[in-house]
Amino acid sequence: MYVHSRNALACLAAAFVLSACDGRQSVLAPSGTDALSVFDLARVMFIGAVVLWLLVGTLFIYVTRINPREMSRRKAEILIVGGGVVFPVLLLGALLVYSLPLMNAPRLADEGLRVHITAEQWWWRVDYELPDGTRIPSANELRLPVGTRTGLVLNAKKVIHSFWVPALGGKTDMIPGRETFQSLQPVTAGVYRGQCAEFCGASHALMAFETVAMEPEDFAAWLEAEARDAQPPATAPARRGAKIFAREGCGGCHTVRGTDAVGQVGPDLTHVGSRKSLAAGILDVTAEDFADWIGHTDAIKPEVAMPSYDFLPREDLAALGIYLEGLK
C-alpha cells in the first residue's frame, strides 16, 4: 500500500514536471496576449494565497507554541476582528480589484480576417474568411498572424466540443446550433498545440491541432498559397496515387481543389501535405503516415467516420501516401 501510494506520488510529480517541459501546450508558457493576462492573474493569486497561508500559519504557531498564555479579552478581540475580518476583506478586496479589469479586457477582434472553426467528430473544419467575403477552406490546423487579434467563429456539428490553445488563450465551448466566439493574439511566432477540451466521444483525446503563429508577411504568403488549387502530382508514383484516389471514391468525402474531388464530409485535402500534423494532430505528415492512416483508420482513431481501406494492396496505399504528401 505504502509502496503503491509512493509510486502514485512519483507518477504525479513526473506528470507535473514532464508537462512543464514542453511549452507547446501549456498555460505556464504563455505566448498570446490572453494567455499572458491569465498567467499574470494566476501568479498574483498564487502569491497572494502563499502570503496569506504563511501569515495564518505563523499566527497559529505563535499562539499555540511560542506564546500559548491566555490573552486579554481586548487583545483576542483585536486579533479576531483584525485578522479574521479586516485583513481578509482587504486582501481579497485588493485581489478582486486587480482581477476584475483583466476579465473585462477588450476581446473584440481587429477588423479583417475571420476564421470559422467547426468541431466535427473528431477533427476541425477550418475556414478563413477574408474581409471581401472570400472563403479559403482548410482543416486540422490553425494559422494566425502575430500581433493581430484574429476573430474565431466557433461551431460544432453533433455534440459539444471545446476549443483550447493553452499557450495562446482561454477555452471556449463549441455548441451545435449556437455560434460562439473567441479571438487570439499571438505575441511570438511558433507552433502551439491545441486540444479539444470537452469530452466528445470515443476519440476525444485524439482530436488536437497545431496552431502556427506566423510573422504577418509569412502569414500573408501562406494564406495566398492556401487559396490556390492543388498542385498536380509531379512524379509517376504520385500520379498513380491520384488515380487510386479517384478510383476509390475518396473524392466523395474529400475536396482537393482543382480536381474532381469536391466531397464535404471529411477534411479538405488540397494542401494536406503542407500541414504540421495529420488526422487532427496525431500523426506526422509523411507518405508512410498517410498510408498507415488510410489502411488503419479505425485502429488509429476508434469510431472514426472514415472507412479503413485495409483491403487495398500495400503498393496502392503507398502510392496514395506519396500523392497526398505531395499536396503542398
Which residues contact ligand HEC by CB under 6 A? 122-123, 139-140, 245, 248-250, 252-254, 265-267, 269, 272, 278-280, 290, 293-294, 301, 304-307, 309, 320, 324
Residue 24 engages Cu ion in binding (rule: CB under 5 A): no
Complex with ligand HEC: residue 144 or 200, whichever CB lies closer: 200
Which of the choices ligand HEC, Cu ion, none does residue 290 contact, using the CB cut-off of 5 to 8 A by kind?
ligand HEC
Least Å distance, CB 196 to ligand HEC, is 11
Decide if 254 contacts 261 (C-beta within 8 A): yes
Complex with Cu ion: residue 209 or 293, whichever CB lies closer: 209
Ranges within 112-131 binding Cu ion (CB under 5 A): none
Complex with ligand HEC: residue 40 or 248, whichever CB lies closer: 248
Least Å distance, CB 128 to Cu ion, is 23
Least Å distance, CB 222 to ligand HEC, is 16
CA distance 306 to 296: 10
Stretch that binds Cu ion, among 160-168, 224-232, 281-289, 312-320 (CB under 5 A): 160-168
Complex with Cu ion: residue 181 or 199, whichever CB lies closer: 199
Least Å distance, CB 302 to ligand HEC, is 10
CA distance 154 to 209: 15
Size of the site for Cu ion (CB under 5 A): 4
Which of the choices Cu ion, ligand HEC, none does residue 322 contact, using the CB cut-off of 5 to 8 A by kind?
none
Ranges within 198-217 binding Cu ion (CB under 5 A): 200, 204
Residue from 126, 196, 318, 319 in contact with Cu ion (CB under 5 A): 196
Stretch that binds Cu ion, among 38-46, 74-82, 196-204, 250-258 (CB under 5 A): 196-204
Which of the choices ligand HEC, Cu ion, none does residue 204 contact, using the CB cut-off of 5 to 8 A by kind?
Cu ion
Residues that bind Cu ion (CB under 5 A): 161, 196, 200, 204
